[in-house]
Amino acid sequence: MISVVPRQILARRHFIAGAIAVALFMFGKLGASAVEAATRIGSWARGPSAWRALRRWIAAIDAGILFPCVRGSPTAWSPRRRAERAAMTVGALVPATFAGDEIARVFAGAALT
């Protein structure tokens, strides 16, 4: 069976690629808490340890499973720094002629991975 879906849809992921990239951007680049990032993308998770998906996504990026264009980060790097690297790499995939702010670039770049 073959399914044809938009580029933003990721296999075995609850959120689309753009939402994951925006959450990584907010957590890594903007320094938002995991709960703030979750709220921004529409997750209902609350509490200090309620949203573990962010750390799973970072681990999947380091393993080359999610956003394979992003190189794995050194193990000494904090989760925030790893998230920032992933978000900025994904955002850099968008052509320079794209007329959006940084968060829009990250969202759009996620579809190009």
Assigned domain for 94 exists: yes
Q: What is the total count of domains within the chain? A: 1
Distance in angstroms (rounded) separating the CA atoms of residues 4 and 44? 28
Among 102, 79, 77, 80, CA closest to 90: 102
Centroid of chain to Cα 89: 10
Q: What pTM was computed for the model?
A: 0.89
pLDDT tens sequence for the chain (113 residues)? 787 777 787 877 888 999 999 999 999 999 999 888 888 888 777 766 667 888 999 999 999 999 999 998 998 999 999 999 999 999 999 998 988 899 999 999 999 98
Assigned domain for 54 exists: yes
Cα separation values, 53 from 58, 67, 71, 94, Å: 9, 15, 20, 25
Which domain, by its residues, includes 59?
17-110
pLDDT at residue 39 in the model? 84
* Residue position matching structure tokens 């979750």: 38
pLDDT at residue 40 in the model? 84
pLDDT at residue 50 in the model? 65
Assigned domain for 46 exists: yes
Distance in angstroms (rounded) separating the CA atoms of residues 104 and 106? 5
Assigned domain for 6 exists: no
* Neighbour tally for 49: CB within 10 Å: 9
